[in-house]
Structure 1
Amino acid sequence: MVTLTFLTRADCHLCETARDAIAEAVAGRDVSVSEIDIDTDDDLAGQYGWDVPVVLLNGRQHSFHRVDSGRLSRALEALGA
């Protein structure tokens, strides 16, 4: 199973768009998705600041600011999801 972590924050219009792209890419795949508001974690807020949304696949950064569902789908497929 692939773990996808979606780092976001409240009132982020790019995050809303990214959420849709993620939903499209993970549909029907063996992927565990978790969403974290970086403003609830000082370390994440310090690390990512205004770079949200961020997608991590198995803990490694895949994308930030904009999420392309096709690119994400290919990465998930490469990881066996």
Structure 2
Amino acid sequence: MTARAAAHLTLYSRAWCHLCDEMLEALAPLADAFGATVEVVDVDSDPELVARYDELVPVLVCNGEPLCHYRLDGERVRAALASFGA
């Protein structure tokens, strides 16, 4: 039996963004339950990220696939994590 690779979640965020903090807090139990890694990227650290995500943060991406922005879509995230590597 081969081990499944864990999903990689990227949260595009800002340091001063309360919605970003809320999404990260809501995401933590889901990521833990599915063994996913979460990388938080500050969009203000890169002008290209600002151009892409400026008004959309927080934006949650799973292995390159955008899942949601502003608020966590728990059902969509759960489905993406459950299907990853299946």
- Tell whether the structures are fold-level matches, with TM greater than 0.5: yes
TM-score (norm 1): 0.88
Matched, 1:76 2:54: no
- Alpha-carbon distance between aligned partners in 2 of 1:3 and 1:32, rounded to the nearest angstrom: 5
- Alignment partner of 1:15: what SS? helix
| Structure 1 residue ranges, 4+ long, deviating more than 4 angstroms after superposition | none
Structure 2 length-normalised TM: 0.84
Which of 1 and 2 has greater Rg? 2
Task: Pick one of 15, 40, 53 that aligns with 2:58.
Answer: 53
CA-based RMSD: 1.5
Task: Give the aligned length.
Answer: 81
Q: Distance in 2 between matches of 1:61 and 1:10?
A: 20
Q: Name the % identity.
A: 35
Unmatched tracts of structure 2, length 5 or more: 1-5
The aligned amino acid for 1:65 is Y
